[in-house]
Chain A
Amino acid sequence: MKHFTELYVQLDQTTKTNEKVEAMRSYFERAEKHDASWALYFLSGRKPRQIVPSKKLREWSLELSGIPEWLFMESRDTVGDSAETMALLLPNNAQTHETPLHILVERELLPLRNSDELVQKAAVTEAWSKMNYSQRLVYNKLITGAFRVGVSQLLVMRALSQLSDLPTDVIAMRLMGDWTPTQEFFAELMNPVLETDETPIARPFPFHLAHQIDFAPANLGKISDWQAEWKWDGIRAQIIRRQDEVFIWSRGEDLMTERFPEIEKAARELPNGTVLDGEILPWLDGRVMPFTELQKRIGRKNLTATILSGIPVILQCYDLLEYEGRDIRSFEFKVRREFLEKTIAALEDQQTFRLTESVAAANWEDLATIREQSRALGVEGFMLKYRNAPYRVGRHRGDWWKWKIDPLTIDAVLIYAQKGSGKRSNLFTDYTFAVWKGEELVPFAKAYSGLTDAEIRKVDRFVRDNTIETFGPVRSVKPELVFELAFEAIQRSTRHKSGVAVRFPRISRRREDKLAKNADSLQTINEMLDAYQSAVI
């Protein structure tokens, strides 16, 4: 616990990537392997199932600090994190808890899940009494499952790669999927010997991710070196067919096999030793449905017949990573594409797995013209892929680009504000915007991002000076500030007061040139809706 907390503090104290990697490398080098395994488990964003309800934890910390609950909530709103708030409120203590991390987790924390409340309370308060501020913070975060410290998976992998001299993609591979943080696991992870047949059959490959293109696509060179594909808005997935089994993985490393029975069934037709990369889409009568439909389906515990027939899914297949049992990621994309076409063509079911279309154009201008159909087709624009590139690990600049269409925009009025969390705690950063419906302003969308820190401070000051009413954490403010909101798609909704729902709303800029009365109205939005009706229904 002591060393792990020190690592946490070190990681938290620097904004520099190299220093973070070095701090982790040095920790993993010195740490006992079982501890290192658990540290890795938490650093890579994994968390155990809830050990103690957060509400109970709060109750006990309130009891010890002697403040009323409302004051805790106010404090929490300012801090933006429950675990940190509790650590800040508990009575001061300078002691250091010396128990090793793996013992703390395995013998003291995990068994609490099945204990009764009195036992839990005794254990947690006992642990708090032995810890200093930083340790309590880390401990609380382990329990509440909100362990984030500003290191990405990639940084963790880099640190491990430096320590082991193994390439990061080997580390990434070994870290994917489900694993148990044991001493053996960590030893195996650092094992310098590469064995191909040790790969557990369910293990997915790390995903190759794209950047949004931030220059004119013509600068990419000859168009014939690039393949343009429609960019679909669904769930990125990897379909694994090995040893007569099927596994469906999300980009977030969730195993989703059971959620998509139609894909699982279709995948059984694939030959063993096949891994596909693609996008799961809700698809009805030959066209894509809005993403929100897919969300409805994911939210359900039981997939009823109604859901399965109302929101069927397909897989747009765009890459092949394993072919005839062989990892072909180092092959050029055009070669992988050939194998992919062959694989899909051999299937009897031609509905569920669809080969993603390669959109042909003579030059970049023509491609730009074709791109204008995106909204009508229900896609987000193009993906541009370099035909000679291998399939890489993680977000990589150069080979894959997202070329998204410009978003829709609306000028709306700020009416409610709430404090943000994490980095934005203590500032009013979460806003609700409204548009006119006759003389009335109706809430239209919430947006959190898009402003610079300096702009956020200005708006924060405005909110504090112009609050009309306070409802819990939310403040209603004088309807004065106008912002341009951008969003990707729009559709009718019965759940929203305005009658419309938008996808990915964010603030594109402040409209200081506009008065609130000149903001857009519902009518403008309805016109927009009619224009894109074909695309979303």
Chain B
Amino acid sequence: MKKGGLISLTTKGLFCRQGNFYIDPWLPVDNAVVTHAHADHAYRGSKNYLVAEEGESLARIRLDPESDISSQKYGKKTDINGVKVSFHPAGHILGSAQVRVEYKGEVWVISGDYKLTPDATCAAFEPVRCNYFITEATFGLPIYRWPPPKRVFAEISDWWRQNREQEKASVVFAYSLGKAQRVLNGVDRSIGPIFTHGAVERLTQAYRESGIDLPTTTYAGGVTNRKEFAGSLIVAPPSAQGSTWLRRFGRHSTGFASGWMLVRGARRQRAVDRGFVLSDHADWPELLMAIESAHAETVYVTHGFSEEVVRYLKETGVNAEPLKTKFIGDDSAEFEDEEGDRNR
């Protein structure tokens, strides 16, 4: 990483010395600017947090209640010791932001996790010009090209409908923050009742309170008559797969909503009946598009297929470097498990 630049990589995370704040630190610090509420970006234990206003309620659920959390609207610039800090929509989940940092004409954009695919549950990704662009690469291989979400939602709805005809429940595993709400928003809500896992229900409520259009859901744990589950849709975090929690649903079919489901091997490894290709991360064409529209002189690539993306960018004449952070990318199976467990 560039020496003496506005942003540097430390053992605690990305640091802005001039403004004395970290962006998405992975250890407790005094001042943390956070891109979004997923656990590998919103780490607990820091004193002060600054988040985008649209993501504040989620941050409050995910972070310690004692922490001092302040927020500001997308696009508004705050001055921290001469450093201008602003949030710009990243299109990843509700309230997710790219953090733009500017000092004496040097502009950095830390994009966190992002996608360009339209998503009715959050604001659309906004390209921001900068000198230095930090991008994720969770799906940084050309094999990853997402099908239109409309088609995927139709697949989920058809699957639910077929199961309902056979009086089977449909259990769809989706990451509890973001993906679950996206599934709820996109699925055909006229088919039947929808139940949720506790981890999903709480965050879904927060989405509703933020004005996101979601169908009525019922917390599955509160249902006493198990016959109600026949033919219904159940949205649960991936960690619920294979657990005894599923027994209550009787006969059911399982599905998994994730970008990884594009590849047959990953689908079989998950051992679900159906894989639905639905990701909150950029696919290969979107990554290249986002990088191009940033017009940065240097692109830093973190988590996922960072080495591959860097090599490709260099070969196509873009100045790029890998950046070793501790971000995981929430589509990663391992991370989802940890996430689900903590919320049980």
Chain B residues whose CB sits within 8 angstroms of the CB of A461 once the complex forms: 334
Structural contact, B271 and A15, CB atoms closer than 8 A: yes
> How many angstroms from the CA of A425 to the CA of B266 in the assembled complex?
7
- At the interface, yes or no: B143 with Cβ under 8 Å from chain A? yes
Interface class of chain B by DSSP: helix
Contact partner of A67 (CB less than 8 A), chosen from B142, B263, B273, is: B142
Structural contact, A13 and B266, CB atoms closer than 8 A: no
Structural contact, A12 and B273, CB atoms closer than 8 A: no
Interface residues of B in 260-299 (CB under 8 A from A): 260, 262-266, 268-269, 271-274
- At the interface, yes or no: A68 with Cβ under 8 Å from chain B? yes
When each residue 125-159 of chain B gets 1 if its CB lies under 8 Å from chain A and 0 otherwise, what string results?
00000000000000001110100000000000000
> How many angstroms from the CA of A12 to the CA of B305 in the assembled complex?
27
Structural contact, A65 and B266, CB atoms closer than 8 A: no
Highest count of chain B CB atoms <10 Å: which of A85, A88, A460? A88
Structural contact, B265 and A14, CB atoms closer than 8 A: no
Structural contact, B141 and A74, CB atoms closer than 8 A: yes
CB distance from A417 to the nearest CB of B (A): 16
Q: Which one of A75-83, A226-234, A333-341, A503-511 is at the interface? A: A75-83
- At the interface, yes or no: B312 with Cβ under 8 Å from chain A? yes
Structural contact, A424 and B269, CB atoms closer than 8 A: yes
- Given A71-B141, A78-B141, A422-B265, answer yes or no on A13-B273 (Cβ-Cβ < 8 Å): yes
Chain B residues whose CB sits within 8 angstroms of the CB of A16 once the complex forms: 273
Q: Which residue of B lies closest to A68 (CB)?
A: B315
- At the interface, yes or no: B333 with Cβ under 8 Å from chain A? yes
A/B pair count, beta carbons within 8 Å: 67
CB distance from B333 to the nearest CB of A (A): 6
Structural contact, A88 and B273, CB atoms closer than 8 A: no
Structural contact, B265 and A457, CB atoms closer than 8 A: no
- At the interface, yes or no: B202 with Cβ under 8 Å from chain A? no
> How many angstroms from the CA of A389 to the CA of B143 in the assembled complex?
53
- At the interface, yes or no: A423 with Cβ under 8 Å from chain B? yes
Q: How large is the interface on A (under 10, 10 to 19, 20 to 34, 35 or more residues)?
A: 20 to 34
Q: Which residue of A lies closest to B307 (CB)?
A: A470
- At the interface, yes or no: B68 with Cβ under 8 Å from chain A? no
> How many angstroms from the CA of A67 to the CA of B265 in the assembled complex?
22
- Given A15-B271, A71-B312, answer yes or no on A425-B263 (Cβ-Cβ < 8 Å): yes
- At the interface, yes or no: A533 with Cβ under 8 Å from chain B? no
- At the interface, yes or no: B228 with Cβ under 8 Å from chain A? no
CB distance from B168 to the nearest CB of A (A): 11
Structural contact, A80 and B265, CB atoms closer than 8 A: yes
Structural contact, A75 and B265, CB atoms closer than 8 A: no
Structural contact, B315 and A78, CB atoms closer than 8 A: no
Structural contact, B143 and A88, CB atoms closer than 8 A: yes
When each residue 244-262 of chain B gets 1 if its CB lies under 8 Å from chain A and 0 otherwise, what string results?
0000000000000000101
Structural contact, A421 and B334, CB atoms closer than 8 A: no
CB distance from A131 to the nearest CB of B (A): 16
What are 30 A-to-B residue pairs whose CB atoms are below 8 Å?
A: A12-B264, A13-B273, A13-B274, A15-B273, A65-B142, A67-B142, A71-B141, A71-B312, A74-B308, A75-B142, A75-B143, A78-B141, A78-B143, A78-B263, A79-B263, A80-B263, A81-B264, A84-B263, A88-B262, A88-B263, A89-B143, A150-B268, A421-B265, A422-B268, A423-B265, A423-B268, A424-B269, A425-B263, A425-B266, A453-B269
A-B interface, 7 closest residue pairs, ranked by CB to CB distance from nearest = A425-B265, A88-B143, A423-B268, A80-B265, A75-B143, A75-B141, A423-B269
Given A71-B141, A88-B263, A426-B265: 10 more A-B contacts, CB < 8 Å: A67-B142, A71-B308, A79-B143, A79-B263, A89-B142, A423-B265, A423-B268, A424-B265, A425-B265, A461-B334
Residues of chain B touching chain A, judged by Cβ–Cβ distance below 8 Å, are 141-143, 145, 260, 262-266, 268-269, 271-274, 305, 308, 311-312, 315, 333-334
